[in-house]
Amino acid sequence: MKSIFSVLLSLVAFFTASSFDDFSLVKERLVQEVLIPIPSAVEVEEILERMAADGSFKDIDYSDLSRTAGFPHRRHTSDLVTLARAYRHPGTSHFHSAALKARIVTSLEYWVEHDFFGDNWHDNQISTPTNLVNLMLIIGDELPQVLVQKTQPIIGRAHMNASGARPSGDRIVIAGILAKNLLFIGDQNRFDEIIKLIEGEVKFSTGQRGIQHDFSFHHRVDRVNNTTSYGYGKYANVFGEWSYYVANTQYAFAVEKINLLIDYYLDGVCKQLVYGIYEDISVKNRSISNQSDFKPKDILEIERLLVSTDYRKAELEEILRLRKGESKPSASFAKFFWQTEHFVFQRPDFYTTVRMYSTRNRNMEEPYNGPGKTTHHRADGTNYLQLKGDDYHDIWPVYDWQKISGTTIVQKEKLHGIENIQVDGLTDFVGAVTDGLYGAVAFDFKSPHDLLSARKSWFFFDEEYMCLGAGINLKNNLPVATAIDQVLMRSDISIVQYDALHRLSEGKHELENIRGVYHGSVGYVFPSPTKINISNRFQEGSWASITDRKNISEEIISKKVFTAWFDHGYRPRNESYAYLVIPGITSEEFLESCSHLRQVEIISNTPQLQAVLSHKLNLLQAAFYEAGEIALSNGIELEIAGQGMVMLKISENRATQLTIADPSRKLSKIILTLTGEFAATGENFSASSENERTTFIVDLPRGVYAGKSVVIGLEER
């Protein structure tokens, strides 16, 4: 069977070879795409059965236009588009059916007569105009002219002075609706202006709405991460659509604009999708309250880009093959989005992230229109581990929102109110050090929701990562827990207790002297025998319980969930934790790891310094919350004159690479001293050697690059 895009390309080739001018060619490309998908006869009959004689739909409550109702009215106009496709497409039994056309006319008349105007601007400026302009492009020329004219003011609510046409994804979406309508009415001059406007929106807008210089995306001025929501479907994909529609015409976008989009798509969007294929739940905001489908992201968006350019073609084609299931993940990278405080680490067999916030960024979207009312703590150092991409899929109705994977949270009787979900961070020492392949993350966490503080860090290597917490303090007399993980159960749970492997019965357990926990090819190993809590049982809840939207199912569902956590007790004082996460191992390898800890050594876990050394990689990673030093057993000493993060590669007891970052973004320089005399390579530093020690004065990135790491190559003299 030909893919949808193959069909479209055939049509494009036909019209390119014809006598169409560029304006008509762009319109025909767009019409042919709007005609897809082709509805089945069953789908058409189901819509007609729901349609009343006056053109309304029996399953829509037209009286409720509130934000929390979700505007079910959009189904009215989207169903009309489906019927129009059946009428227009020669492959359906309703092709040019006079009876079907009459039903479409009646239903459209019902809509324009009532002109349903929702309380949410999005429905009026985007949802309704999108459906109506698609209807016009498909069948508008065959509708009564008076009726077509009556739709124009409704479609016209998508204009560049509309409240939703703010610089960001929505601006391109609204411009796209307007461009479609200009194609329909034949206004070539204004179409040319709008295409230039769409092209101009692809730019860096760091500190404002739009693409940030780290290739994350902010939709609002709260600087919350929206890369794979607004920055994907409403920004990258819409621009990609139009780059395809206007390709090889007088309206074609400039090469540098298309290239910037591809950089953003590959280095921003795809690096925040699991293996570049599946939705990453760590970057979701309020939409986490909505039921979703688990499936690969679309390939059409990539095929469109490949029509416009050969830039980074091999990388785009690899993502295409991954989504089509023709290849397996092979990429390894570490990526820190310093403008958004989100860290991603991928290896061929696992994908994991850390989500944080600071004085620079807020934590989470507000629960606009109802969803997201339980998301208070989802940026408190959240660390999700995903093996296949469906590890947490739709767990949310049964989720314990005060035991979010990786977080340290006060265990309250209930969450704070929805008015306290979005908050400003209280600390600025929030960041990561990375060379693009390895990395470490540090979070000087102070909760704006509760009187809780903690120093939290993560250290990422090829086959495992270490999670440390120190200085856990609470001023209230409430219990505090650090969640190791809360995830859908993949298998039975095994524990190593008193050096023996045991299978854990289903239930809720308080366990002592635990060296490790094994769940579905993931090992959680503790450096010393530890007291932990485990729940491996069914949990219940409903989708309605996690949102204030109306018309959401109240059906109680149950899912089997694995949760492991440290109980720090009531009003903890200077508590700590440590655990090693090892994805993709057998139970035999896990048992051995509990004995040998896989050659990963904790150098320090205090409120002043958190540091880990991988003996296998000869890689030291450290978070200095204040000036300090590290002395390794091989004779290498590292001293830093103030706070900062450091990563040091070692070969044959000699340092070979130094990576530095300033999570606070306050420093202009970092001064550190390292054992040995070196000839160093890189930029923006000076080095002086004396008495077998080298002092480096490193100029840190400033402005839009503040928080980015600096890498220095070292060759001992």
Taken in order 45, 145, 16, 324, is the CA torsion positive or negative? negative
Looking at 90, 122, 157, the residue that finishes a domain is 157
Asked whether residue 89 falls in the same domain as residue 173, the answer is no
Asked whether residue 319 falls in the same domain as residue 180, the answer is yes
Asked whether residue 631 falls in the same domain as residue 667, the answer is yes
Asked whether residue 532 falls in the same domain as residue 386, the answer is yes
Examine residue 473 and state whether it is found in any structural domain, yes or no.
Answer: yes
What predicted TM-score, i.e. pTM, was given to this entire model?
Answer: 0.93
Burial of 233 (0-12, 13-18, 19+ CB in 10 A): middle
Asked whether residue 371 falls in the same domain as residue 502, the answer is yes
- DSSP H or E segment with residue 540: strand 522-541
The predicted structure's pLDDT at residue 533: 98
The predicted structure's pLDDT at residue 543: 96
Examine residue 2 and state whether it is found in any structural domain, yes or no.
Answer: no
Examine residue 367 and state whether it is found in any structural domain, yes or no.
Answer: yes
The predicted structure's pLDDT at residue 11: 47
Examine residue 9 and state whether it is found in any structural domain, yes or no.
Answer: no
The predicted structure's pLDDT at residue 101: 96
Structure token pair of residue 67: 């934000």
Asked whether residue 113 falls in the same domain as residue 228, the answer is no
Residues 6+ apart with CB under 8 A from 491: 519, 520, 521
Inter-residue contact 43 to 89 (CB < 8 Å) = no
Asked whether residue 135 falls in the same domain as residue 61, the answer is yes
Helices (H), 186-254: 188-200, 230-231, 237-245
Asked whether residue 534 falls in the same domain as residue 673, the answer is no
Q: What is the dihedral of CA 508, 398, 283, 414, to 10 degrees?
A: -80
CATH number for the domain spanning 635: value is: 2.60.220.10
Asked whether residue 146 falls in the same domain as residue 176, the answer is no
Residues 6+ apart with CB under 8 A from 337: 212, 214, 215, 216, 225, 227, 268, 272, 343, 344
Asked whether residue 199 falls in the same domain as residue 237, the answer is yes
The strand ranges marked E within 542-665 are: 557-570, 575-583, 600-605, 609-614, 619-624, 628-631, 637-640, 644-651, 654-661
CATH number for the domain spanning 322: value is: 1.50.10.100
Examine residue 47 and state whether it is found in any structural domain, yes or no.
Answer: yes
Q: What is the DSSP letter of 204?
A: B
475-478-479 Cα angle (round to 5): 115
For residue 112, give its domain range: 35-157
The strand ranges marked E within 402-521 are: 408-410, 430-434, 439-446, 452-460, 465-474, 479-488, 493-497, 500-504, 507-519
Examine residue 344 and state whether it is found in any structural domain, yes or no.
Answer: no
State how far the Cα of 390 lies from the Cα of 705, in Å rounded to an integer.
34
State how far the Cα of 423 lies from the Cα of 36, in Å rounded to an integer.
43
Taken in order 510, 513, 519, 522, is the CA torsion positive or negative? positive
- Give the residues of the chain that fall short of pLDDT 70: 1-20
The strand ranges marked E within 94-201 are: none
Asked whether residue 239 falls in the same domain as residue 305, the answer is yes
The predicted structure's pLDDT at residue 20: 60
Examine residue 557 and state whether it is found in any structural domain, yes or no.
Answer: yes
The predicted structure's pLDDT at residue 17: 41
Q: What SS3 class is residue 298?
A: coil
Examine residue 27 and state whether it is found in any structural domain, yes or no.
Answer: no
> Could you tell me which of 364, 367, 392 has the C-alpha nearest to residue 377?
364
Ramachandran angles phi, psi of 462, nearest 5°: -65, -45
Inter-residue contact 95 to 574 (CB < 8 Å) = no
Total number of domains in the chain: 4
Asked whether residue 389 falls in the same domain as residue 324, the answer is no
What is the maximum alpha-carbon separation in the chain?
Answer: 93
The predicted structure's pLDDT at residue 596: 76
CATH number for the domain spanning 525: value is: 2.70.98.10
